[in-house]
Amino acid sequence: MSAPVSIGLIGAGIMGERMLRAIMAQSPELVRAAGIWDPSDEAMARIASELPQVARTADAAAVIAASECVYIASPPASHLGHARAALAAGRTVFCEKPLAIDVADSRAFVAEAGTRGAVNFPFASSPAVSQLQGWAGSVGGSRRIAIEVAFATWPRSWQADAAGWLDRREQGGFTREVVSHFLFLSRRLGGRLHGLQASVSFPEAGKSERRIEARLMAGDIPVTLTGSVGTTQKDDHNTWTLEGEGGAIRLCDWSLAEQRQPDGSWQRAPDALTQLEARPVALKRQLEGVAKLARGEPHQLATLEEALNVQEIVEAILAS
């Protein structure tokens, strides 16, 4: 049996800690945590208190040196610096989205990296997405996709500690943070994203967007997209719908696969999981993919090319 893949983590915020806990929950024969680093003393102290068995390194270079694969969960503007350092050291890279905030730099990085990296779009391992793929044949021809996202506030309540960058135009906003997932899903199931027409509203000076509207194509499938803040009482509400001549299927609130019935009602998959139930399942599958990535084996993770295509669309929406 192969030795466990050592994963080092750069960034100890919400996503970094979530991934660290997921690594520790897996079989020690699959993956292990090589160490974690964050420039925030407060974040490192939290890890020391809650997860004292995890090595805390002096800097990002020490994480890279200790790892086979480096998971990057720092703010977006720092992603490619860490990723290039990891690749230069012969490591593979598993990066949070977006790849970066500069599209030209991302294009250059993807050309440099080849197949030695992947991006953490959990829909690549989602049980609900697997269900949708199983149902997709029932939808028939003349397909179209509709994406709707809405938030009570931005950032969401559980992200308040990261508002310093999540609610700034430079790196944050719900289009980068949330809509990108549904664009990835459209890309994965439909094909390359292209043909964008969009509008965006920035009503608060210096803050991230509060409304977007867009039309584009996923392969040959038309996609409509709307997103807004302050239009729902929910922290986070979203639907991704694929409709055709033969019927419709959709993903609700991240993890609930539903199929439209002849009377127009929606029937949920009998084994549907809530987001809290589905997250550890998807993370386990993601980590299985990370182990394959590190070993140079085929995997289901979002490729750098897919992530770049999503980033190109996201940044074009925000520039519109």
pLDDT tens digits along 55-79: 999 999 999 999 999 999 999 999 9
Q: Is the CB of residue 102 less than 8 Å from the CB of residue 126?
A: no
Written as six digits, the tokens of 237 are 């509400």
- In this structure, what token pair is assigned to residue 15? 């996503």
Average pLDDT, the chain: 96
CB atoms inside a 10 Å sphere around CB 316 = 17
Residue 18 pLDDT exceeds 90: yes
Rounded average pLDDT over 247-256: 97
- Write the secondary structure of the chain as one string of H (helix), E (strand) and C (coil): CCCCEEEEEECCCHHHHHHHHHHHHCCCCCEEEEEEECCCHHHHHHHHHHCCCCCECCCHHHHHHHCCEEEECCCHHHHHHHHHHHHHCCCEEEECCCCCCCHHHHHHHHHHHCCCEEECCHHHHCHHHHHHHHHHHHHCCCCEEEEEEEECCCCCHHHHHHHHHHCECCCCCHHHHHHHHHHHHHHHHHCCEEEEEEEEECCCCCECCCEEEEEEEECCEEEEEEEEECCCCCCCEEEEEEEECCEEEEEECCCEEEEECCCCCEEECCCCCCHHHHHHHHHHHHHHHHHHHHCCCCCCCEEHHHHHHHHHHHHHHHHC
- Indicate if the pLDDT at residue 101 is higher than 90: no
The mean pLDDT value for 141-146 works out to 96
Q: Which residue has the tokens 């991006």?
A: 119
Q: How far apart are CA 173 and CA 208, in angstroms?
A: 5
Residues of the chain with pLDDT > 70, as a percent, come to 100
Query: Is the N-terminal amide bond of 75 cis, ω within 30° of 0?
Result: no
Once rounded to an integer, what is the mean pLDDT over residues 227-252? 96
Average pLDDT on 258-276 reads 94
pLDDT of residue 200: 98
pLDDT at 235 over 80: yes
Residue 305 has pLDDT above 90, yes or no: yes
pLDDT at 122: 97
Contacts for 225 with CB less than 8 Å, ≥ 6 apart: 146, 147, 148, 179, 182, 183, 198, 212, 213, 214, 215, 216
Q: Give the tens place of pLDDT for each residue, 156-172.
A: 988 877 778 899 999 89
What is the percent of the chain with per-residue pLDDT over 90, rounded to a whole number?
A: 93
pLDDT at 315: 96
pTM for the whole structure: 0.95
Q: Is the dihedral of CA 83, 87, 90, 96 positive or negative?
A: positive
State mean pLDDT over 122-146: 96
In the chain the domains, ranked by start, together with CATH numbers, are 5-122+280-303 (3.40.50.720), 124-275+309-319 (3.30.360.10)
Structure confidence at residue 258 (pLDDT): 98
The model's confidence at residue 37, banded by pLDDT at 50, 70 and 90, is very high
Please say whether the dihedral angle defined by the alpha carbons of residues 166, 238, 136 and 186, taken in this order, is positive or negative: negative
What is the mean predicted confidence (pLDDT) over 115-122? Answer: 97
Report pLDDT digits (tens) over 214-225: 999 999 999 999
Residue 2's pLDDT is what? 77
The answer, yes or no, to whether residue 230 has pLDDT greater than 80, is yes
What pLDDT sits at residue 84?
98
Handedness of CA 57, 112, 19, 171 (dihedral sign): positive
Q: Does the pLDDT of residue 1 top 70, yes or no?
A: no
